[in-house]
Amino acid sequence: MSDSLSLRDITDFAEALAKEAGELIRREREESTLRTDYKDQTELVTHADVLADEFITNAIRERFPNHRILSEETMPDLTQAEHLDTPLWIIDPIDGTVNYAYGHPQVAVSIAYAERGQVQVGVVHAPFPGETFRATKGEGATLNGQPIEHSGATSPRQSLFATGFPYTKDNLEPLIKRLDAMIHQCRDLRRIGSAALDICWVACGRLDIYYENVSPWDFAAARLIAWEAGATVGHFGDVPAGYPADLWGRDILISAPEVWEPVRSILRTASGYE
């Protein structure tokens, strides 16, 4: 444990950072002219993304100078997830940037803390509705301080699912096949636009199923929250040997426990895995 702090202390620190960053991005959208740009010619980024990222990473560096940081905007080096010797912070300053730019409320600050490749702390703060999801490993998950749990869904046919799509559109066919299979065998689809909130909504029962290919900063915190809320978390594809499953973002599947295996089978078949 770092500097004699308990995991709960670290969770409190992460929550305070997430809320301050949330206030920053809320204020930027409401009081400033929104400045936008593109990274890799396709993915929208705002000035607020960078400001919030720098605020969070600077605060972590000051408090924990020996820790590593994996953050979407300022330090997006995915190889950080492969080094297990030093504690790692995984940060998305604005998950749901397109929502943010369009004035939608489904926007979140996501902060996770991992030791030896296993996420121990997760905080997802949605500043516009004022909702804070948090979990400390082994202590359950909460929304604004109240315990949460998954929906208890028992059948894919009666389940509401969420997924997302990449900014690059050159390899959509496998995703469309999965979507076609799921939409025919589940109740309906919701496209929320924030992976962190998708997963947290599974954790609190607003959704039954979530699957997607995403980056660690999109899901690391929310995955722990869902796990601590009793959801089943895993992958419908294979995780490379030696790579920490908590941080592997391809073929993620998170759902109420009783529908996880049947949905995994649907997605594997649609993907040509079996």
Query: Tell me: the pLDDT tens digits for 90-121?
Result: 999 999 999 998 999 999 999 999 999 999 99
Pull the structure tokens for residue 65. Answer: 């100078």
| 225 marked as binding residue | no
| 92 marked as binding residue | yes
What pLDDT band is residue 32 in, cutting at 50, 70 and 90?
low
| 198 marked as binding residue | no
Q: Alpha-carbon Rg of the chain, whole angstroms?
A: 18
CA-nearest of 63, 80, 42, 255 to 163 is 255
| Contact indicator for 96, 202 with CB cutoff of 8 Å | no
| 139 marked as binding residue | no
Query: Tell me: the pLDDT tens digits for 207-253?
Result: 999 999 999 999 999 999 999 999 999 999 999 998 999 999 999 99
Pull the structure tokens for residue 252. Answer: 């993620």
CA torsion angle 224 226 231 232 (round to 10): -40
Query: Mind listing the domains of the chain with CATH numbers?
Result: 2-147 (3.30.540.10), 156-271 (3.40.190.80)
| 95 marked as binding residue | yes
CA 104: distance to chain centroid? 18
Per residue, the 3-state secondary structure of 94-132, as one string, reads: EECHHHHHHCCCCCEEEEEEEECCEEEEEEEEECCCCEE
CA torsion angle 230 94 183 179 (round to 10): -110
